[in-house]
């Protein structure tokens, strides 16, 4: 491989000239499907291989007052496994997920940022940040007044708490950016960090998302707008992407951080490369705060922009990890958008909706799904769409070639992943299989 190949010079088909190539060299995830580094047997990929839904009845609080009583909880998380007791007490669960995921990603990449901390960035997304912690503190305030609340409250609830705490704990002095772009937050964090490295502003970035929304008022707010599934009698079947009987998403929690690395930097240290981030696109529907644009036009444009950024055509894409939230309107609009982008080639594209494995952890989901795509490309195996029985024959969803139970062995070369959120935010990432 020549320096020109590393920096995207002309000669490599489809790669824009002058831009640095960006590798994924570390994955750290804390999810209902599994927790650990990208190569850990019990981690996220282990959950994919087990193919068991990670959803169940809410146990974090009494959900009996709500129409929906299902969630995807991270049952075995112990903050003490990733930080000392003092730090665990100082951070709320959302920031604990962020720190744990970041540490796991660095360990997975076999990299310490000591000595390079000025050149390393942290980009982390979260739809709600520390809102669940604030909810618990409000209860303490009502019961005992101001003296009863945790002194760290003001420092824990803002959206940038995950990014800044991760940066402080690891001594990272480069850009630390937190965004709150709804359920697209994690994908946007990865996309913006990708651009930072692509244009030579930093050689390394920890990028992803974290979310801990499972508290009564926060959960209830989504129940009130009837966005969540009420399949309480069969909680493991509640999340049903693109299925004819889907009735809403299943709220989840968790975190996922990727180590993004300038390809030349990664090659110089002989890093394991899962995949390359090749393109990123973002648009807004400018239509409705909760409902997607029915014609899928802006979601489609986000995908097209990501493909253009990657120097790739739709006909090169072999796999799509869909947002697939299991909502009636959202899944249909995404299917319409995919049809607009791929046309007849859609028959050749394998599509997964993987949220039955880990629920919908809002701002963390886009990061989890980007990690899953990188792992799928690395392993040559596409994860199944669980709980899908059938789509309405005349619906746009019926045109999708969904990955069947058991998954599919396929060494895909180019893949796309979507993340869509309230406010009409659309984000798409294109990943390429590493062929070095």
Tokens of 159: 């959206």
Q: What is the dihedral of CA 120, 164, 114, 363, to 10 degrees?
A: -60
Tokens of 420: 């869509």
Given the residues 7, 265, 360, 388, the one annotated as active site = 360
Given the residues 68, 183, 239, 256, the one annotated as active site = 183
Region of residue 254 (left: phi > 0; alpha: psi -120 to 50; beta: else)? left
Active site residue 138: no
The answer to whether 285 touches 330, Cβ cutoff 8 Å, is: no
Given the residues 7, 265, 323, 388, the one annotated as active site = 323
| Alpha-carbon span 274 to 375, nearest angstrom | 6
Q: Report the Cα–Cα distance between both ends of the chain, in Å, rounded.
A: 8
Q: Are strands 414-421 and 381-382 parallel, antiparallel or unpaired?
A: unpaired
| Alpha-carbon span 208 to 102, nearest angstrom | 9
Active site residue 360: yes
HEC states along the chain? CCHHHHCCCCCCCCCCCCCCCEEEEEEEEEECCEEEECCCCCCHHHHHHHCCCCCEECCCCCCCCCCCCEEECCCCCCHHHCCCHHHHHHCCHHHHHHHHHHHHHHHHCCCCCCCCHHHEEEEEECCCCCHHHHHHHHHHHHHHCHHHCCCCHHHHCCCCHHHHHHHHHHCCCCCEEEECCHHHHHHHHHHHHHHHHHCCCCCEEEEEEEECCCCHHHHHHHHHCCCECCCCCCHHHCCCCCCCCCCCECEECEEEEEEEEEHHHHHHCCCCCCEEEEEEEEEECCCCCCCCCCCCHHHHHHHHHHHHHCCCCHHHCCEEECCCCCCHHHHHHHHHHHHHHHHHHHHHCEEECCHHHCCECHHHHHHHHHHHHHHHHHHCEECCCCCCCCCCCCCHHHHCEECCCCCEECCCCEEEEEEEECCCEEEEEEEEECCC
The answer to whether 21 touches 197, Cβ cutoff 8 Å, is: no
Catalytically annotated residues: 183, 323, 360
């Amino acid at each position: 491989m020549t320096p020109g190949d590393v920096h995207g010079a002309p000669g490599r088909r489809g790669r824009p000239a002058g831009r640095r190539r960006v590798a994924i060299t570390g994955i750290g995830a804390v999810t209902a499907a599994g927790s650990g580094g990208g190569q850990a047997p019990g981690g996220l990929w282990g959950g994919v291989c087990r193919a068991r839904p990670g959803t169940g009845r809410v146990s974090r609080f009494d959900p009996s007052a709500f129409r929906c009583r299902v969630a995807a909880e991270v049952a075995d998380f112990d903050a003490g496994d990733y930080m000392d007791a003092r730090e665990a007490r100082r951070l709320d669960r959302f920031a604990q997920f962020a720190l744990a995921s970041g540490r796991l990603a660095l360990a997975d990449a076999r990299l310490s940022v000591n000595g390079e901390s000025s050149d390393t960035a942290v980009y982390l997304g979260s739809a709600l940040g520390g809102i669940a912690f604030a909810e618990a503190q409000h209860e303490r305030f009502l019961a005992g007044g101001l003296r009863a609340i945790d002194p760290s409250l003001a420092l824990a609830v803002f959206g940038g708490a995950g990014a800044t705490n991760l940066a402080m704990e690891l001594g990272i002095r480069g850009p630390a950016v937190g965004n709150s772009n709804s359920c697209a937050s994690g994908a946007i964090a990865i996309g913006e960090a990708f651009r930072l490295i692509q244009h030579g502003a930093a050689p390394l970035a920890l990028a992803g998302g974290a979310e801990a929304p499972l508290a009564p008022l926060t959960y209830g707010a989504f129940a009130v707008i009837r966005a969540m599934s009420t399949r309480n009698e069969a909680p493991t079947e509640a999340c049903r992407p693109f299925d004819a009987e889907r009735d809403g998403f299943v709220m989840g929690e968790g975190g996922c951080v990727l180590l993004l690395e300038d390809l030349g930097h990664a090659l110089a240290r002989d890093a394991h490369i899962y995949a390359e981030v090749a393109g990123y696109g973002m648009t807004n529907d400018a239509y409705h705060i909760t409902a997607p644009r029915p014609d899928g036009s802006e979601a489609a444009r986000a995908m097209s922009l990501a493909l253009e950024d990657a120097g790739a055509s739709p006909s090169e894409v072999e796999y799509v990890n869909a947002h697939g939230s299991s909502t009636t309107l959202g899944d249909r609009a995404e299917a319409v958008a995919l049809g607009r982008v791929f046309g007849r080639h859609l028959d050749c594209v394998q599509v997964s909706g993987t949220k039955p494995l880990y629920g919908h952890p809002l701002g963390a989901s886009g990061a989890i799904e980007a990690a899953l795509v990188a792992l799928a490309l690395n392993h040559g195996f596409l994860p199944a769409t669980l709980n899908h029985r059938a789509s309405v024959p005349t619906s746009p969803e019926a045109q999708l070639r969904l990955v069947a139970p058991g998954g599919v062995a396929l060494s895909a070369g180019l893949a796309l992943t979507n993340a869509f959120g309230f406010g009409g935010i659309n984000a798409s990432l294109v990943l390429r299989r590493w062929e070095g």
